[in-house]
């Protein structure tokens, strides 16, 4: 066991992880929802609102940054990574380069970014990053995800994780089974279990130290277009069943993504998961928290609306949600 990687991983999942790593394309879409045109300066101002919010360190222990953001500074000239570190919040970095389709006739994708990753990680480490994130995406539709898609993405996640650990950076491994579709929670369970089993097989095959890895999976839910949505308790119970079946006990933390759930629903599901976990922590030995993007930021983004006079209100809204998510990560909401 690499003690340093394990200690860093535990610190990152100690509270919650803010995913502020939207790509240029994604943040352009997000800002467009409030009628604001994205550019590096506007993006910087928006991220600054979140990172300088009073008492962020009480509820957030890690922040995932994007290539643009990790190079940016506050109005006072303090690098974002330094600002966060001074508050006791650990900076991380998204290192994947997005997804590409295997073929035009199926939704299966693989993720790019392994080429030159060692060099990029060294630069990010010098800029202050202590952990990284790589996302693979799986779509439930017809015969998808195919065995080829599961195998290729699991393999690449393992290679990425090994490269990170060799650079003394904690890898967040993010295999996301999308909510898109009208599938049942049973189908989601089956696919999520298959994906996670493959990921951990590959991590072990590549001698990745599991005590220095953070898992960022989807919760197991009904497809968002399914008129019969599984209730909160069923989502919590089913999700934990899959985790128990697939996630080795030495993994220090599971940080669930919100995956398009509303802030309220994602928080409620996280709380229900941890209420069950609290009844038998030997059965569920990992720290279970959240790494939310939209579900942590969405309400604050709307409150800001791109106007300077709304900054204080937006920060208040952000901290209120961050507190709720943190309490949910303890099962205390």
Query: Which backbone phi and psi does 321 adopt, to 5 degrees?
Result: -70, -40
Q: How many helices (H) and strands (E) does the chain have?
A: 13, 10
Chain Cα centroid distance, residue 281: 23
Query: Catalytic: 25?
Result: no
**Candidate list 22, 174, 176, 299, residue with the active-site label:** 174
Residues 6+ apart with CB under 8 A from 223: 140, 179, 180, 181, 182, 183, 184, 187, 188
**Candidate list 15, 133, 216, 324, residue with the active-site label:** 216
The SS3 assignment for 16 reads strand
C-alpha closest to that of 298 among 329, 283, 320: 320
Distance between CA 234 and CA 232 in Å, rounded?
A: 6
DSSP code of residue 293: S
Query: Catalytic: 216?
Result: yes
Residues 6+ apart with CB under 8 A from 83: 51, 52, 74
Distances (CA, A) of 313 to 20, 45, 320: 19, 15, 11
Distance between CA 213 and CA 164 in Å, rounded?
A: 10
- b/e map of 29-44 (b: 16 or more CB within 10 Å)? ebbeeeebebeeeebb
The HSE-up count of residue 85 (CA atoms within 13 Å, CB side) is 14
**Catalytically active residues, by annotation:** 174, 216
């Amino acid at each position: 066991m690499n003690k340093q990687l394990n200690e860093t991983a535990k610190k990152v999942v100690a509270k919650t992880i803010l995913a502020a790593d939207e790509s240029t394309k994604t943040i352009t879409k997000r800002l467009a929802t409030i009628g604001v045109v994205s550019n590096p300066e506007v993006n910087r101002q928006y991220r600054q609102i979140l990172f300088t919010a009073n008492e962020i360190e009480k509820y957030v222990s890690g922040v995932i940054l994007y290539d643009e953001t990790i190079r940016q500074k506050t109005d006072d000239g303090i690098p974002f990574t330094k600002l966060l570190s001074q508050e006791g919040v650990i900076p991380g970095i998204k290192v994947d380069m997005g997804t590409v389709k295997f073929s035009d006739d199926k939704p299966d994708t693989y993720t790019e970014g392994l080429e030159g990753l060692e060099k990029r990680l060294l630069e990010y480490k010098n800029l202050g990053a202590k952990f990284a994130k790589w996302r693979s995406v799986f779509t439930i539709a017809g015969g998808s995800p195919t065995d080829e898609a599961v195998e290729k993405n699991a393999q690449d996640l393992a290679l990425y994780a090994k490269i990170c650990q060799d650079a003394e950076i904690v890898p967040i491994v993010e295999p996301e089974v999308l909510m898109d579709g009208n599938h049942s929670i049973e189908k989601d369970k089956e696919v999520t279990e298959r994906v996670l089993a493959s990921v951990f097989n590959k991590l072990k095959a590549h001698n990745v130290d599991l005590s220095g890895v953070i898992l960022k999976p989807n919760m197991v839910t009904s497809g968002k277009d399914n008129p019969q949505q599984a209730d909160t308790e069923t989502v919590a119970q089913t999700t934990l069943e899959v985790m128990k079946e697939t996630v080795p006990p030495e993994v220090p933390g599971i940080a669930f993504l919100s995956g398009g759930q509303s802030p309220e629903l994602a928080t409620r599901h996280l709380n229900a998961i941890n209420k069950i976990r609290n009844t038998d922590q030997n059965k569920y030995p990992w720290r279970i928290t959240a790494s939310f993007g939209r579900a942590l930021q969405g309400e604050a983004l709307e409150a800001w609306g791109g106007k300077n006079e709304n900054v204080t209100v937006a920060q208040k809204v952000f901290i209120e949600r961050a507190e709720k998510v943190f309490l949910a990560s303890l099962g205390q909401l």
